Chain A
Amino acid sequence: MRLFVSDGVPGCLPVLAAAGRARGRAEVLISTVGPEDCVVPFLTRPKVPVLQLDSGNYLFSTSAICRYFFLLSGWEQDDLTNQWLEWEATELQPALSAALYYLVVQGKKGEDVLGSVRRALTHIDHSLSRQNCPFLAGETESLADIVLWGALYPLLQDPAYLPEELSALHSWFQTLSTQEPCQRAAETVLKQQGVLALRPYLQKQPQPSPAEGRAVTNEPEEEELATLSEEEIAMAVTAWEKGLESLPPLRPQQNPVLPVAGERNVLITSALPYVNNVPHLGNIIGCVLSADVFARYSRLRQWNTLYLCGTDEYGTATETKALEEGLTPQEICDKYHIIHADIYRWFNISFDIFGRTTTPQQTKITQDIFQQLLKRGFVLQDTVEQLRCEHCARFLADRFVEGVCPFCGYEEARGDQCDKCGKLINAVELKKPQCKVCRSCPVVQSSQHLFLDLPKLEKRLEEWLGRTLPGSDWTPNAQFITRSWLRDGLKPRCITRDLKWGTPVPLEGFEDKVFYVWFDATIGYLSITANYTDQWERWWKNPEQVDLYQFMAKDNVPFHSLVFPCSALGAEDNYTLVSHLIATEYLNYEDGKFSKSRGVGVFGDMAQDTGIPADIWRFYLLYIRPEGQDSAFSWTDLLLKNNSELLNNLGNFINRAGMFVSKFFGGYVPEMVLTPDDQRLLAHVTLELQHYHQLLEKVRIRDALRSILTISRHGNQYIQVNEPWKRIKGSEADRQRAGTVTGLAVNIAALLSVMLQPYMPTVSATIQAQLQLPPPACSILLTNFLCTLPAGHQIGTVSPLFQKLENDQIESLRQRFGGGQGIFMVAGDNFVVLQAKTSPKPAVVETVTTAKPQQIQALMDEVTKQGNIVRELKAQKADKNEVAAEVAKLLDLKKQLAVAEGKPPEAPKGKKKK
């Protein structure tokens, strides 16, 4: 028989380790093939390792090959081994492939990798210690040990991923790893490169789907329906029959929205985006879009809701940007504030207020909180040594200084960190420091600064957290980050900066200083509200009546859970503090991070140019919302989700339901006579609707979206099974049945349109217009499924809701946004070229006007044309000067192209950069 193996394929480890068992009983020929070779004739996808038996049959399962070798040696099968192998295939492998993928392909570390396999590892450890045997299936090493060892070896051979506390697993693993067959197998497969040897193989594997999402499949399947009690069914039917009558009157629209005693008052904030960055999709899903879904949901529940956000405008970055663009900081903010507002408008974000932090209210409220803190002794003063550029007449923030690294002597170390040795640097320790803007040498000056005395406020903070956290909906990461800060002990935080563009510090001797953004940015929520209504304190000094939900990405947690609460508690002014802090994880782009500096990813303003409607973006971003763990944006997946979930599932169902009403019943909803089967469907839909509510009340936005898709799947199956298009041509009873099915289906479609409203507002409105859903039913979502389109209701014109995305279209978008070598970010219509990390000389930021893809294409064409001219001239042996002139033109064009593409311009030959 012949065993086909391949380097760097994990399954080859156990197979090679077990092959020795067959020795003396059969001859095993080992052939090495490529990991992508299709050895097994009947399998479409490549599969290695494979054992070709003498009978011509193939074993393509790693466990089955190992089992065969063991069987040849006289071993007999037993239940316990079967159980381990089944567990290995169904539980351990998915978890392990995810962990290896994160580690090797995505370069993650620590808990991000271990998190997905920890449960499985613990299971092995417990089993070993419980049965008190050194091996999985008894006193001697056997099949189960080899198969599991082989699966685990690539990960566990790195001691970082073999948790110390799992001591039984530890010693089991060590015992096996030191055995000769295992050692040899490891050397053959991993070639002493450790887990990195698996890289080429793993890169070709699909990205593992997050474990949580696994319960939800993308394709129609026979879903297991929960069992329903008679009461549940009866209640669902009663609620359904009440119909529109059970809707409460609509809340009148208030302006301004203010808290109302006795009502649920929900205040929602989204983290304030920094003004001179164009938000990328990760920023959008992290705060504004997530908060928008919740705000829309909250309004559907008729809760009194205020949703606010704005641009965060003060700080060094704005000042610098203003210098470069030759504008005042205020003009820069005005310009970018509009860009931000436009992007969010395009995404249909339903802010009640989209404000900004550079307003007189901001100064007033910040200074007031500061004065209160000062009065109560929560502010300290201390001297800080800083670099000051005399030429620019300003203190230099760390990233505006460069110099020689005090540790390794690297000449271009930054003020905060050396790129060469990676050590963190205190800017004043840099040798030969240089101001990055003017290149003159800054001097060390001491400067007085103010500190917020967090240690003194720590106790109050802990008391407040102790009251707030239990029973709240803080996301686990927010709780974890907050706890870890408290565990390490809070330290005084500097709250002032030597800048001009900021909120002035109202204290003698601090006239040239402003508040540091992290002290006053969170106060922006208050000042933005104050600019909306002079009664802002009814929201912000009203903790008894107001439920504050704050949305952000996880890097913003400490400012919202520690710093602002400490300021507010210290000011002793009964401020409303966050009740529910909702933090997302990170969204990655394809395989890497969204990176503005590398031009990787899709940015808010570019999403509009893709031709994909805003609602589709919203849907996909929410579908992959990094809820509980990081997730990744993928173009292929976007196409897949659009075509499978929206087009084939949701769109198909809603369209069919409406079409049946139009085509078979002249546009009037037919009479419905519910059979027990229909009643059960009603109850299932009700159950799923209630699940949706439970999830959204806990702000589990991504999960709640699944409920919508599940209902529409039920709907599709219902139509499929009952075939109204056939029954309509049948007997009177058949026609009546067709009517009931159509009527129930179109009512489910109406329910879906309301449930969909927080996620896809435009699509929701389109469905509601097509179905002519009565206004109150459009704006209120109860916990029961009502008949909102009673018999006789006339619907409008039905048309398809979604468009298919084609492969070529997505492929060209992927290439456009893939992020080449260029280092660029996108700001409005300008491509702003940031300096390459390695380029020695300054030009901090250079702005190039509008370089849209068409222009890049045009430049490319010109480069090609000019290149041909040069080649022709050279071929004709033309005059040297003439050639040189054309070459100069060509070089210039190439440079323009590089700049437009965001690549650092190539250095001219001969003048090598150091």
Chain B
Amino acid sequence: MAAAAELSLLEKSLGLSKGNKYSAQGERQIPVLQTNNGPSLTGLTTIAAHLVKQANKEYLLGSTAEEKAIVQQWLEYRVTQVDGHSSKNDIHTLLKDLNSYLEDKVYLTGYNFTLADILLYYGLHRFIHYPGIRQHLSSVVFIKNRLYTNSH
């Protein structure tokens, strides 16, 4: 998924009404956002964090110092590891690592849903649906009923 499309989806899920226009920079097509008040912002996670603040949903960036650092760590992981030019081998390692990390967690930070979960989900989407990878994993059944109401 192109970064611009991903950011537009994020805007929608954050409830931001006006759609931003994104340009793309360089070979890797890094998204660039021209903000109204100030210089342009470059980079997927940078822009995503900016959008979260715009939507007044800072809690998605973590509440404590620890959570904030963890959110940023996984955002970095998304753009360096998940988006890196990974071979099938790398992808397997990556999925294995994530699986063992998430074994005792609901979300990446533990119990709170954050921007890291959103972007990592988008990033993994393309592997999970790639047949060669998918065949080793059972399909995940999504339950549409909300089991937990979000406190926020």
Residue numbers of A with Cβ under 8 A of B are 41-45, 53, 55, 57, 59-61, 63-65, 67-68, 71-72, 77, 79, 82-83, 85-87, 89-90, 93, 209, 214-215, 217-222, 224, 640, 644, 720
For the complex formed, measure the closest distance between the CB of B2 and the CB atoms of chain A, giving whole angstroms: 6
Q: Is B87 an interface residue (CB 8 A)?
A: yes
Q: A42-B100, A83-B46 are in contact. Are A72 and B93 (CB under 8 A)?
A: no
Q: How far is the CA of A57 from the CA of B28 in the complex (A)?
A: 32
User: Which residues of A have CB within 8 Å of B61?
Assistant: 77
Shortest Cβ-Cβ A-B pairs, 3 listed: A64-B73, A68-B69, A71-B65
Q: For A60, A72, A79, A217, which residue has the most chain B Cβ atoms within 10 angstroms?
A: A79
Q: Which of B53-94 contact A (CB under 8 A)?
A: 61, 65-66, 68-70, 72-73, 75-77, 79-80, 85-88, 91, 93
Q: How far is the CA of A72 from the CA of B66 in the complex (A)?
A: 9
User: In the complex, how many angstroms separate the beta carbon of A154 from the nearest chain B beta carbon?
Assistant: 19
- 7 residue pairs of the A-B complex, CB under 8 angstroms, read A41-B100, A59-B69, A64-B69, A68-B69, A71-B65, A71-B68, A82-B45
| Contact A79-B50, Cβ < 8 Å, known A87-B43, A90-B80 | yes
Residue B14 is within 8 A (CB to CB) of chain A in the complex = no
Contact of B85 with A64 in the complex, beta carbons under 8 Å: no
Contact between B43 and A644, CB atoms less than 8 A apart: no
Does B15 make an interface contact (CB < 8 A)? no
Contacts of A87 in B (CB 8 A): 42-43
Which of A64, A86, A221, A720 contacts B79, CB < 8 Å?
A: A86
Bound CA span A57–B105, Å: 11
B29 in the interface, Cβ–Cβ < 8 Å? Answer: yes
Does B132 touch A at the CB level, under 8 Å?
Answer: yes
A72 to B68, CA, bound (A): 11
Binding site for A on B (CB under 8 A): 2, 27-30, 41-46, 49-50, 61, 65-66, 68-70, 72-73, 75-77, 79-80, 85-88, 91, 93, 96-97, 100-101, 103, 110, 126, 130-132
Check A44 against B97 for contact (C-beta < 8 Å): yes
Asked if A86 contacts B73 (CB within 8 A), the reply is no
Question: Nearest residue in B to A72 (C-beta to C-beta)?
Answer: B65
Contact B27 A215 (CB under 8 A): yes
Chain B residue, CB-CB nearest to A75: B65
Query: Besides A83-B42, A86-B46, A86-B75, 17 other CB < 8 A contacts?
Result: A42-B100, A53-B66, A68-B68, A79-B41, A83-B46, A85-B76, A87-B42, A89-B80, A90-B43, A90-B80, A93-B80, A214-B85, A215-B27, A218-B87, A219-B87, A222-B126, A222-B130
Chain A positions within 8 Å of B100 at CB level: 41-42
Partner of B70, one of A57, A221, A640: A57
Give the nearest-CB partner of A60 in chain B: B73
| B79→A65 contact, CB < 8 A | no
CB distance from B52 to the nearest CB of A (A): 11
A720 to B130, CA, bound (A): 10
The verdict on A220 contacting B130 (CB below 8 Å), with A45-B93, A67-B72 known, is yes
A219 near B86 with CB under 8 A, answer yes
B68:A61 contact, CB within 8 angstroms = no
In the complex, what distance in Å separates the CA atom of A67 from the CA atom of B72? Answer: 9
Q: B101 touching A42 by the CB < 8 A rule?
A: yes
Task: Pick the contact of B96: A44, A67, A71, A83 (CB < 8 A).
Answer: A44
| Residue on A nearest B26 in the bound complex, by CB | A91
The reply to whether A220 and B132 form a contact with Cβ atoms under 8 Å apart is: yes
- Evaluate contact between B97 and A42: CB separation under 8 angstroms: yes
Residues of B within 8 A of A214 (CB): 27, 85
Instruction: Contact check, B50 vs A90: say whether CB atoms are below 8 A apart.
Output: no
Chain B residues, CB < 8 A from A644: 87-88
Give A63's nearest chain B residue, CB to CB: B76
B126 → chain A closest CB, angstroms: 5
Q: How far in angstroms is the closest Cβ of chain B from A1? A: 10
B40 nearest CB neighbor, chain A only: A83
Q: How far does the alpha carbon of A214 sit from the alpha carbon of B86 in the complex, in Å?
A: 11
Closest to A86 in B: B43
Distance in angstroms from A55 CB to nearest chain B CB is 6
Question: Do the beta carbons of B70 and A64 come within 8 Å of each other?
Answer: yes
Q: Is the CB of B65 within 8 A of A89?
A: no
Query: Is there an interface contact between A89 and B79, defined as CB atoms closer than 8 Å?
Result: yes
A43 to B74 CA separation, bound complex (whole angstroms): 13
* Min CB gap A182→B, angstroms: 21
Among candidates A57, A64, A79, residue contacting B72 with C-beta atoms closer than 8 Å: A64
Q: Shortest CB–CB separation between residue B151 and chain A, in angstroms?
A: 19
A598 CB to nearest B CB, Å:
32
Of the listed residues B29, B41, B103, the one surrounded by the most CB atoms of chain A closer than 10 A to its CB is: B41
Which residues on A sit within 8 Å (CB–CB) of B87?
Answer: 218-219, 640, 644
A67 touches B93 (CB 8 A): no
Partner of A86, one of B29, B45, B126, B130: B45
- Give Cα A64–Cα B2 distance, bound, in whole angstroms: 26
Q: Kindly report which residue of chain B lies nearest to residue A22, judged by CB atoms.
A: B65
Q: Is the CB of A720 within 8 A of B131?
A: yes
Q: Which residues of A contact B88 (CB under 8 A)?
A: 219, 644
A405 to B80, CA, bound (A): 55
**Contact partners of A53 in chain B: CB under 8 A:** 66
Instruction: List residues of chain A with CB within 8 A of the CB of B103.
Output: 42
Q: What separation, in Å, do the CA atoms of A735 and B101 have in the docked complex?
A: 46
Most chain A beta-carbon contacts within 10 A, residue among B2, B42, B43, B131 = B43
